């Protein structure tokens, strides 16, 4: 009953706003990844996070954090997060065994402690979406339980960063956002330079990168950019929670960001205004975070 009620509420809101909602993103490929492939997909993301924290904490000292007006206890928390990610890597390597993928080479966008903070928030949030989206491919109860345990920690880390450090909302809507494997890979590939040729091939592909202007906010008309051919009417699917809100993309590459959006949103360029599947994805997703305070909540 709760799911039905939520679905009706989402549909009603979309209808009132002249937009549409959709079910979570899905693979168009009929093949089903193996559990080892899914575990290696998770390990690839954990390697990425592990490298990010290792490199970042080597670059930025406690004094650097203090000079950026970050709390004196913040860097210690990131040390703990780094230990978590290292443990996740070791755990998954132990589960997978000889087939475990090795770390890739990365190029992270952080250049100072504050960009380290915002990149950390993005990585932890995408990690939650990756685990929740990949859960459908697991059947082994032990794998499901351990993946859920990792997901919960990543969600706590994401919440801590955005609320305790950035002083923004600790959550988004009543649902977090499961993402398709290819959509997660598109986000991750933006910082991956190359991976060892000996790694197991993963059942993923990256779509063309999508970018929104810095500081874009709900209610604004903004120009987006991506390197893909525009054929016919395209749309921007703003994925959030268990649905997506669609807005038409103009021939000038502009879109009206729906004013109802809050929290983390993953925009994707699609050729459909009804669904978000791999075969209608043109570019993206990218990562947007629309902060809101306790007075602005419109709970979905």
- Mean pLDDT in the chain? 90
| Same domain membership, residue 173 and residue 111 | yes
Last residue of a domain, one of 161, 194, 227: 194
Q: Flag whether 107 is in a domain.
A: yes
pLDDT tens-digit readout, 153-185: 999 999 999 999 999 999 999 999 999 999 999
| Same domain membership, residue 213 and residue 190 | no
| Same domain membership, residue 18 and residue 39 | no
Q: Flag whether 41 is in a domain.
A: yes
Identify the CA nearest to 246 among candidates 257, 254, 232.
257
CATH code, domain with 51:
1.20.1260.10
Q: Flag whether 296 is in a domain.
A: no
Q: Flag whether 98 is in a domain.
A: yes
| Same domain membership, residue 166 and residue 122 | yes
| Same domain membership, residue 153 and residue 62 | yes
Strand partners, 234: 249
| Same domain membership, residue 215 and residue 158 | no
Q: How would you write 155-183 as a 3-class SS string? A: HHHHHHHHHHHCCCCCCCCCCCCCCCHHH
Q: Within 13 Å of residue 115, how many CA atoms lie on the same side as its CB?
A: 6
Please give the chain's pLDDT, 300 residues, in tens: 233 333 333 333 333 333 444 444 555 555 789 999 999 999 999 999 999 999 999 999 999 999 999 999 999 999 999 999 999 999 999 999 999 999 999 999 999 999 999 999 999 999 999 999 999 999 999 999 999 999 999 999 999 999 999 999 999 999 999 999 999 999 999 999 999 999 999 999 999 999 999 999 999 999 999 998 878 999 999 999 999 999 999 999 999 999 999 999 999 999 999 999 999 999 999 999 999 988 765 544
Last residue of a domain, one of 140, 171, 194: 194
pLDDT tens-digit readout, 35-77: 999 999 999 999 999 999 999 999 999 999 999 999 999 999 9
User: From CA 159, how far away is CA 139, in angstroms rounded?
Assistant: 28
Q: Flag whether 204 is in a domain.
A: no
| Same domain membership, residue 184 and residue 53 | yes
Q: Flag whether 14 is in a domain.
A: yes
Domains: count for the chain: 2
Last residue of a domain, one of 141, 160, 194: 194
Q: pTM for the full model?
A: 0.89
Q: Is 293 helix (H, G, I), strand (E, B) or coil?
A: coil
| Same domain membership, residue 239 and residue 125 | no
Residue 76 belongs to domain spanning: 35-194
| Same domain membership, residue 76 and residue 15 | no
| Same domain membership, residue 105 and residue 11 | no
User: From CA 56, how far away is CA 292, in angstroms rounded?
Assistant: 28
Q: Flag whether 89 is in a domain.
A: yes
Q: Flag whether 43 is in a domain.
A: yes
DSSP type of residue 290: E
| Same domain membership, residue 53 and residue 187 | yes
Q: What is the pLDDT at residue 30?
A: 55
| Same domain membership, residue 155 and residue 7 | no
């Amino acid at each position: 009953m709760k799911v039905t009620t939520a679905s009706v509420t989402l549909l009603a809101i979309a209808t009132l706003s002249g937009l549409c909602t959709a079910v979570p993103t899905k693979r168009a490929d009929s093949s089903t990844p193996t559990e080892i492939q899914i575990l290696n997909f998770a390990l690839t993301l954990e390697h990425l996070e592990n490298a990010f924290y290792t490199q970042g904490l080597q670059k930025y000292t406690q004094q650097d954090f203090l000079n950026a007006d970050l709390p004196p206890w913040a860097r210690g928390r990131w040390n703990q997060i780094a230990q978590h990610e290292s443990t996740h890597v070791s755990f998954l390597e132990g589960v997978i065994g000889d087939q475990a993928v090795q770390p890739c080479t990365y190029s992270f966008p952080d250049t100072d402690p504050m960009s380290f903070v915002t990149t950390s928030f993005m990585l932890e949030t995408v990690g939650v979406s990756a685990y929740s989206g990949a859960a459908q491919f697991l059947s082994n109860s032990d794998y499901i339980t351990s993946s859920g345990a990792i997901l919960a920690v990543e969600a706590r880390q994401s919440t801590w960063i955005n609320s305790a450090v950035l002083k923004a909302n600790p959550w988004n809507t009543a649902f977090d956002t499961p993402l398709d494997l290819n959509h997660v890979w598109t986000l991750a590939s933006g910082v991956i330079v190359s991976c060892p040729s000996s790694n197991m091939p993963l059942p993923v592909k990256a779509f063309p990168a999508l970018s929104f202007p810095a500081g874009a906010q709900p209610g604004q008309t903004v120009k987006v950019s991506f390197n893909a051919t525009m054929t016919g009417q395209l749309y921007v699917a703003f994925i959030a929670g268990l649905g997506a809100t669609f807005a038409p993309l103009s021939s000038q590459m502009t879109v009206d960001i729906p004013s109802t959006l809050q929290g983390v949103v993953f925009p994707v360029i699609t050729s459909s205004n009804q669904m978000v599947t791999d075969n209608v994805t043109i570019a993206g997703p990218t990562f947007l975070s629309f902060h809101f305070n306790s007075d602005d909540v419109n709970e979905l």
